[in-house]
Amino acid sequence: MQYMPILNLFLQKNDDQSDKHVLNGFCVVTTSIFEDHDIQLFCYTGENVMDVFFAHMQTQEQRIRSILSVNEPMKDLTCEEQLKYTAATVCLSCN
């Protein structure tokens, strides 16, 4: 799974007339190659933005841990996959 957070900032003048970036919202898009878990959008604008952001991320961490904790048996290789595996001299995943 992959997260793409987007932060919403605006400029606010300080007392010395310099600009300060102020966070007032965020959106997080969760994507996955698995349809059951693909594209979840969460947006928030309001008070305590960072508290809400971290709470959301903790919820997502728990959700993902529960998904990854399921131990599914490996599917049998197809004939083509078995031939590639047998002929390989270097691991295709990690070289």
Could you report the per-residue pLDDT of 77-88, keeping only the tens digit for each?
999 999 998 999
pLDDT of residue 8: 73
Residues 15-43: pLDDT tens digits?
888 888 888 888 888 888 888 877 678 88
Residue 26 has a CB neighbour count (10 Å cut-off) of 19
Nearest Cα neighbor of 60 from 16, 11, 5 is: 5
Nearest Cα neighbor of 30 from 20, 42, 21 is: 42
Look at residue 50 and tell me if it is in a domain: yes
Look at residue 51 and tell me if it is in a domain: yes
**pLDDT band at 75, cuts 50/70/90?**
very high
Look at residue 60 and tell me if it is in a domain: yes
Tokens 């997502």 belong to 60
- Domain region containing 74: 2-84
Look at residue 91 and tell me if it is in a domain: no
Look at residue 89 and tell me if it is in a domain: no
The number of folded domains in the chain is 1
pLDDT of residue 51: 94
Look at residue 90 and tell me if it is in a domain: no
The residues, ordered by sequence, that sit 6+ positions from 52 with a Cβ below 8 Å of its Cβ are 44, 46
